[in-house]
Amino acid sequence: MKHDYKFLSEKNHNNRSLFRPGKIHLLLVAAIVGGLAVSSSMMSGKADANKAAVVKQDIIKQAPVESKQVAPSRLIENIPLPVDKQVNSLLLPLPAETKQSSLQWTTVKVKPGSSLAQIFSKLKLSAADLHNIIRINKDTAKLKRVLPGQSLRFQINTQGQLEQLVYQIDAANSLHVKKAGTGFIADTASKTLDTRTAHASARIDSSLFVAGQNAGLSDNMTMQLANIFGWDIDFALDIRKGDHFTVIYEEVFMDGRKVRDGEILAAEFHNRGNTYRAIRYTNKNGHSQYYSPEGMSMRKAFLRSPVSFSRISSRFSLGRKHPILNKIRAHKGVDYAASRGTPIKATGDGRIVYKGVKGGYGRTIVIKHGTAYNTLYAHMKSYNRKSRVGKKVKQGQVIGYIGSSGLATGPHLHYEFRVNGVHRNPLTVRLPKASPLPKKYRDDFSQKANTLVSQLNLITNNTLAMLQ
pLDDT tens track for 43-67: 444 444 444 444 434 434 444 444 3
For residues 332 and 315, is the Cβ–Cβ distance under 8 A? no
For residue 428, name the pLDDT band (cuts at 50, 70, 90).
confident
3-class secondary structure, 347: coil
Number of CB atoms found within 10 A of residue 190's CB:
10
Q: What is the pLDDT of residue 378?
A: 95
Q: What is the pLDDT of residue 323?
A: 52
Cα(86)–Cα(84) distance, integer angstroms: 6
Cα(398)–Cα(246) distance, integer angstroms: 29
| Per-residue DSSP letter, 435 | P
Cα angle vertex 192, ends 190, 198, to 5°?
135
Give the list of residues 6+ apart from residue 464 with CB closer than 8 angstroms, or none: 244
Cα(22)–Cα(228) distance, integer angstroms: 114
Q: What is the pLDDT of residue 314?
A: 60
pLDDT in tens, 384-412: 999 999 999 999 999 999 999 998 888 99
For residue 310, name the pLDDT band (cuts at 50, 70, 90).
low
Cα(116)–Cα(111) distance, integer angstroms: 10
Cα(381)–Cα(375) distance, integer angstroms: 18
Question: What residue type is assigned to position 109 of the chain?
Answer: K
Percent of the chain scoring above 90 in pLDDT: 44
Q: What is the pLDDT of residue 206?
A: 87
* Residues 111-120: contacts with CB under 8 Å, at least 24 apart: 111/148, 112/148, 113/148, 114/146, 114/148, 115/146, 116/143, 116/144, 116/146, 116/152, 119/146, 119/152
* Prediction pTM value: 0.56
Q: What string of DSSP letters covers 262-287?
A: EEEEEEEEEETTEEEEEEEEE-TTS-
Question: What residue type is assigned to position 100 of the chain?
Answer: Q
For residue 376, name the pLDDT band (cuts at 50, 70, 90).
very high
Domains in the chain with CATH codes: 1-38 (no CATH), 99-190 (3.10.450.350), 194-300+439-468 (3.10.450.350), 311-424 (2.70.70.10)
